[in-house]
Structure 1
Amino acid sequence: MVSALGMTMTLAGCGGDSVSPSDVTLKLVAADYGDSKANSSQKYWDELTKEYESDHPGVKVDVSVYSWTDVDRKVKEMVDAGNAPDMAQIGAYADYAAKGQLYRVDELLSIPVQANFVSQLSDAGQTNNTQYGMPFASSTRLLFYNKTLFSQAGLTPPESWNGLAAAAKVLKSEGVTFPYALPLGPEEAQAETMQWLLSGGGAYTDDVGTYSIDSEQNIKTFTWLKDELVGKGLTGPVAPAKLNRADAFAAFARGEVGMLNGHPSLMQAAAKKGVQFGMVPMPGVNGRAKATMGVADWMMAFKKNGHAEQIGDFLDFVYDDKNVLAFSHHYDLLPVTTSASEAMAADEDDQDLAPFLDQLPASVLYPVGKTSWAGISADIKKQIAKAVTPAGSPTGIFSSLQLTATAADSAS
């Protein structure tokens, strides 16, 4: 995802890391983006490190790939045991940064590579205005709709909430199982929630980064969801609290869903099953939403073993355009750098990803720079679906989440 600028700088402040390249083996722990052994990320890393090592005969890069279910826990166990890897490519960086365990990005990357990250992603990699997290992969969300079901019902893609509800009502009358699939189950409820909050003009935090979960806009959004979609039976036979994202995606690929929020990987799954689908920006209150959700996963480097110079040189190679685009293409993800994004936008073979790419510059990411976010995200997964149940209170649930978030933020 980074251009091949061929520039690696000797960085000031790294004198303590001056180890002979011939003595260095770098340990990287990475997440697996594949869904089978055949397309495991291990294959990507094996090919990439083989190429790197052929040009750097004194440096070895040992990569261990774990599933997303295990990788964050595995890295934590290694760090707690005093055996931190040199690098980790996982879901969050803020806790390690807060403990002073990570290199700053400017201690590692050459200046052109550091400057090439998409600005929203670079900003999200900061804690206390210092970047520790390097974005590794990203995606945005669009509203997917089943073209066949829409055509049969005489519908066009909605641009507003009222249009979405009206379309869902017609789809229900046509016997569609899930007119709008609302996955608020524990797998990824925080994502579906955030997309709806953004479409209602809210977010998890305000413009200065303070938690604003119980804002008027957020409460209004979930009150509308409860009354106009869930309460009217337009979200299908599975209660939102019991519907996970993976199950909603699978139902869409079976042709059972009229509409849902999706990321790029859903395209491939739906196409394999022969589902004709379209994608549009998420509807907002009175027209298309002004912002969409962006998601990024993170690369970080631990100071435990030193090796800043060698780590930086290897990561400059990782973020070369060729390598970034190869990974993005294989897993239907978006590049995290400007030059690779521009290359993807100009490539006719990548036009299926263009709508997602168009959303990235105005996307809003989780507040991952807050050490409190991991706990708050877990609370949202457990609590948020209660807000749309018949007896649920959006005001009560959001107020409770806000109290917890404020306390956690103060403590951190």
Structure 2
Amino acid sequence: MTTEASIESNVNTHSRPSDLRITDLRICSLRGLPMDASLIRIDTNQGISGYGEVRDWASPTFALMLKSRLVGENPCNIDKIFRKIKQFGFHARQAGGVCGVEMALFDLAGKAYGVPAYQLLGGKFRDRVLCYCDTDSMMDGTEMGHRLKRRMERGFQFLKMDIGIGLLKDVPNAVIAPPSMLDTQSIMHPFTGIQITDIGIEYLVEYVRQVREIIGYEVPLAADHFGHINLESCIRLGRALDSFTLAWYEDMIPWQFTNQFVRLANSVTTPICTGEDIYLKEGFKPLLESRGVSVIHPDLATSGGLMETKKIGDLAQEHGVAMAMHFAGSPISFLANIHCAAATENFFVLENHSVDLPWWDDLVDGIEKPFIKDGYAIVPEAPGLGFEDVNEEALRQCMDERCQWGYFGPTDAWDNERSHDRLWS
């Protein structure tokens, strides 16, 4: 006699999504990705787990404090849970916990229903995602050009480099600064009093010219890390570099100063880009509505996770603005970015900081490797974020031994952390 139980034993039901409940949240902190990050694992009553990532250089405490708000919830209710916890995120690294949890919820929900994460976002616009690799600076422009050329020879069809006062350390009279201001990174650009001189601008123009002589104009080349110089210096430098048709000027000034972005955008002919430190779509609205940017550059591990970042992309599209994506973490966050990029129509390129780490792909198993081929990443079709499991041996080799939880060890101390979370009286 055939029983219901025997029939189900031969059928892959994935799980019973309506009965799925979160039972635990655990942490594994990593070093050398090249930036420190923490992975989170959310466990359930049906034996499936979902993985997310607290953004590079963010404290895992931002995720641990959410544990007591998550246990008992159905992880398939992604939007409900996100609305519950989003008050505990903020700009830059303070959003790391909320975003890491949201990634893990998409991984869990996808596994529960047997569909890839992009499908939960409404489907995909593309089967592969264009990637660019940020490239550490060389002090000589010709050497930097050859370094970028080697990227092209590996198949990358979009490049980025740094152009800024860091290249002017040994150039006399290139920068003017009040005492000690060049030695600190803790003061926002408009308040440093640092200015770049004509000598400095001419030096950087020659530097970029040397790079262009090597790589030509075959592929887009974006620019970042100009230094904490004031708006007027940004405008003068930007105008001098406009002739090289760079893909964008990134984070020339802090994203909070909308009016300064408008002045900058109206003063140069190269696209203006920012966004890696902005949390939620509301943070992008002033820049988009004022026409202060031509490209937004959210980091999914700060902007709110997969669903919120897609909403940010859609908002930008309404204003005629393209979306690139900032990323500097592990393959888990990378795959979350891939699904979001696939599901967002106005997306065009995703960053990766780890193309020079031969072991980076090994941190997860059960997915086609290498992740990036000829400058593109294939959108995975497996459930959730698209990988089968993490690679314990590989993770342990780069695990932060200072982390008190070890390899996804117990986090019982956070089981009962409570506060009166309501935002109204």
TM-score norm. by structure 1 comes to 0.30
Which structure features the higher share of helix residues?
A: 1
